Amino acid sequence: MWPLTPPKHAADYTFRECISKIRNPDLKKRLAASESQVIAADKSYRDAARRTALHELETNNFKLSGVSSAEMIAVYANRMAKKKTPGRPIYDALMLAPQFGLCPLCGQRTVSTLDHHLPKTLYPSLAVNPINLIPACGDCNKLKLDIAPNSSDEETLHPYFDAVDDAVWLRAEVIEGDPIALRFFVDSPNSWDLTLTSRVRRHFRVFGLASLYASHSAPEVSSLGLSLESVFGDGGSEGEQRVRDNLLERAAGWRQVRLNTWQGATYTALAESPWFCRGGFLS
């Protein structure tokens, strides 16, 4: 859900690095002869991603003549992802790109792998293309599955091409009770069109962000009791306002880090809940 600066490594350079030390002369020759197809695939991919049209890319156009899909997948696994191989420095640079080392797909868990935005099994010519490789946590990588989108609405967000952090869209509401709980949801800004709204909601659903954020917010909210009790003081309307101001200040701090974090949404929702500000945190 967080945008990333596109990789600086070009597709052709990365491809050449990955195949540079292959010892099998026949395989190396066939791979080298495929470089123009790798470059063409990169151009098609970038053009489609800018138009939110990756679903229009035909899988047959992303298979290399003279090189099998299994061979290209092996190039990624053995000559890029594997340590001490020619493509590993590029792999490591991609892994280090996200701020705070957090997965841009969920914004919560630690990056531990590279996810092929379009699956390498279906688009082998993109197997080592940096623009198709997204640093991600293991959970998000597994949840996404090797499935190609069939429409724009089915495309999950692409951190290199989609900038959705310029307006607040992640919201939460307080579920009153003991213990207090929060429900997270997408509240699309008026500036979004229907396609972007559908994509963000699909992204939210595919990666299970509502339940992820709810589980992480629970201990955060539970820990507020003592600190807010001192702010609340003798209560009343003045105590309620002090609590609200305290929560809004916390929310603003998180909004400065990123506009759409579960922490910012959590503190905003708590501040907007009269029940919570009047002492619901004492339940």
Neighbours of 95 (CB within 10 A): 16
C-alpha distance across the termini of the chain, in Å: 33
Transcribe 55-73 into DSSP letters.
Answer: GG--GGGGS-TTS-HHHHH
Predicted TM-score (pTM) of the model is 0.91
E strand or H helix that includes residue 240: helix 236-257
pLDDT tens digits, residue range 127-160?
999 999 999 999 999 998 777 788 888 889 999 9
**What separation in angstroms does the CA of 265 have from each of 185, 187, 245, 246?**
10, 11, 15, 14
* Bridge partners, residue 33, by sequence: none
pLDDT tens digits, residue range 206-235?
999 999 999 999 999 999 988 999 999 988
pLDDT tens digits, residue range 57-100?
999 999 999 999 999 999 999 999 999 999 999 999 999 999 99
